[in-house]
């Protein structure tokens, strides 16, 4: 974690901050290694503090390497005031996007009791560090992707008419846990038949029927990191129209996977898939972004969308997930996770079969 703390200090220097107060759970985990659910991080120019209560003190001692662990008892503000005074912190950054109005009012009282202190709102400081993945993060995402791939192989042998979408989701999630996932990385989407036209149709009580598309978008959490995959299959024999729509999405995804490289913008990559789909007459039916970053959170930077000016860089991890959704008829999405590398290279994390529309059941 010490390299991450050094990087954070450089980022703070650039904003003339001599301290940072971190509350957002994934940011807190990233900078401290703490996996629990309650605690506060204060980083100063030469020290790192982890403030928590008695429930988490032992866990913090074990996980937060290089940190001084502070037991707040039942008084966060006096503990903070004391610490900031002792460290002579003057400009303390806080995460404006993750504190409530009430929190800010309370934290502001610190300015009255700590000489010379001002609280400075910041945005995206930790997130800009998190967007570049190191080798250990890449390894965790690969494991999360391997688990999702194994779950796809498993579910192909399970799908059959008569099951509800919820049963399919439960089977995917149970299988991933047995493979070592700590849970699903987001609420599992199983959308069949007409519901497959809902881009985010989480599993419902709808029963799978012969002829249905079954669109499954799911992922695993492993060591805190997410995978995110979508595959669409058909129950029984596909219609010509199902094949046609599937093949348009497949080719759009292939083109985008091929084009993806560090040095382009998210917008440019999005346009590769979007223009292909539009050229096939389905432009209106692809109403969401091509992809997004993944990491400790299922949606993080960079943006890979028609308005995403973010520059794609080596060691970023993104999804590529074009789709076509035709109301009341059905929809197809195909999604894989990609690591961008130096020199235009890339590595794809997910390898579940997709080369032709798979018919099951
Ligand atoms: Zn997804
Ligand atoms: Zn996704």
Ligand 1 mean position, distance from CA 354 (Å): 15
Question: Is the preceding omega at residue 302 within 30 degrees of 0, hence cis?
Answer: yes
Q: What is the pLDDT of residues 58-106, one digit of tens each?
A: 999 999 999 999 999 989 999 999 999 999 999 999 999 999 999 999 9
322 CA from centroid of ligand 2 (Å): 10
Q: Looking at the CA of 148, which ligand is closest?
A: 1
User: What would the two tokens of residue 275 be?
Assistant: 């223009």
- Which ligand sits closest to the CA of 200? 1
* Distance of alpha carbon 139 from the chain centroid: 15
Domains observed in the chain: 2-130 (3.40.350.10), 135-360 (3.90.230.10)
Task: Write the DSSP symbol of residue 67.
Answer: P
> Alpha carbon of 119 to those of 21, 22, 93, 197: distances in Å?
9, 12, 6, 47
Tell me, in angstroms, the distance from the centre of ligand 1 to residue 77's CA. Answer: 40
Compute the distance from residue 218 Cα to the ligand 2 centre, in Å. Answer: 9
Question: From the CA of 228, how far away is ligand 2's center (Å)?
Answer: 5
Residues constituting the chain:
361
Give strand pairing partners of 70.
Answer: 51
Low-confidence ranges of the chain (pLDDT < 50): none
Gap from CA of 319 to ligand 1 centroid (Å):
8
User: Cα(59) to centroid of ligand 2, in Å?
Assistant: 32
> Which residues pair with residue 291 across a beta bridge?
304
CB atoms within 10 A of CB 23: 15
Q: How far is the CA of 89 from the centre of ligand 2 (A)?
A: 40
Cα(226) to ligand 1 centroid in Å equals 10
What is the number of the ligand closest to the CA of 318? 2
CA–centroid distance, 149 to ligand 1, in Å, is 13
CA of 318 to the centre of ligand 2 (A): 8
Q: How far is the CA of 236 from the centre of ligand 1 (A)?
A: 24
Burial of 206 from C-beta contacts in 10 A (0-12 / 13-18 / 19+): middle
Residue 204 burial (10 A CB sphere; 0-12, 13-18, 19+): middle
Q: How far is the CA of 164 from the centre of ligand 2 (A)?
A: 23
Q: Rounded to the nearest whole angstrom, what is the distance from the C-alpha of residue 329 to the centroid of ligand 1?
A: 21
CA of 274 from ligand 2 middle (Å) equals 16
Cβ–Cβ < 8 Å for 92, 19: yes
pLDDT for residue 1: 61
The tokens describing 236, both together, are: 């029984």
Give the phi and the psi of residue 39 in degrees, each rounded to 5. 170, 165
pTM for this prediction: 0.96
Among the bound ligands, name the one nearest to the CA of residue 231: 1
Find the 295 Cα to ligand 2 centroid distance in Å.
11
Distance between Cα 301 and ligand 1 center (Å):
15
The ligand minimizing its distance to the Cα of 290 is 2
Predicted pLDDT of residue 90: 97
Q: How far is the CA of 141 from the centre of ligand 1 (A)?
A: 14
Q: 139: which 2 tokens?
A: 């390894």
Q: Which ligand is nearest to the CA of 291?
A: 2
Q: What is the CA(319)–ligand 2 centre distance, in A?
A: 6
Ligand lying closest to the C-alpha of residue 289? 2
pLDDT (0 to 100) of residue 29: 98
Q: What is the dihedral of CA 351, 354, 355, 361, to 10 degrees?
A: 130
pLDDT tens-digit profile of 209-244?
Answer: 999 999 999 999 999 999 999 999 999 999 999 999
Cα 266 off chain centre by:
16
């Amino acid at each position: 974690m010490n390299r991450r703390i050094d990087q954070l200090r450089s980022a703070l220097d650039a904003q003339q901050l001599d301290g940072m107060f971190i509350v957002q759970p994934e940011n807190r985990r990233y900078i401290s290694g703490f996996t629990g659910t309650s605690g506060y991080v204060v980083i100063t120019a030469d020290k790192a503090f982890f403030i928590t209560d008695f429930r988490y003190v032992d866990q913090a001692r074990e996980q937060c390497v290089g940190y001084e662990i502070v037991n707040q008892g039942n008084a966060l503000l006096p503990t903070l005031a004391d610490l900031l005074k002792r460290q002579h912190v003057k400009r303390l950054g806080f995460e404006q996007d993750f504190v409530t109005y009430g929190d800010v009012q309370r934290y502001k009282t610190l300015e009255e009791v700590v000489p010379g202190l001002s609280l400075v709102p910041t945005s995206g400081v930790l997130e800009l560090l998190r967007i570049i993945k190191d080798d250990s993060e890449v390894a965790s995402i690969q494991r999360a992707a391997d688990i999702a791939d194994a779950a796809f192989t498993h579910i192909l042998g399970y799908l059959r008419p008569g099951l509800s979408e919820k049963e399919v989701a439960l089977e995917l999630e149970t299988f991933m846990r047995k493979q070592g996932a700590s849970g699903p990385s987001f609420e599992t989407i199983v959308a069949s038949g007409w519901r497959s036209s809902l881009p985010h149709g989480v599993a419902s009580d709808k029963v799978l029927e012969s002829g249905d598309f079954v669109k499954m978008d799911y992922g695993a959490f492993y060591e805190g990191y997410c995978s995110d995959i979508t595959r669409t299959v058909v129950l029984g024999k596909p219609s010509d129209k199902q094949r046609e729509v599937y093949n348009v999405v497949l080719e759009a995804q292939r083109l985008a996977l091929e084009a993806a490289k560090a040095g382009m913008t998210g917008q440019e990559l999005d346009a590769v898939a979007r223009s292909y789909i539009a050229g096939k007459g389905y432009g209106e039916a692809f109403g969401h972004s091509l992809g997004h970053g993944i990491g400790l959170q299922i949606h993080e930077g960079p943006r890979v969308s028609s308005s995403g000016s973010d520059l794609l860089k080596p060691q970023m991890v993104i999804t590529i997930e074009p789709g076509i959704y035709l109301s009341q008829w059905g929809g197809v999405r195909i999604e894989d996770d990609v690591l961008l590398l130096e020199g235009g290279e890339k590595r794809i994390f997910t390898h579940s079969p997709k080369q032709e529309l798979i018919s099951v059941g």
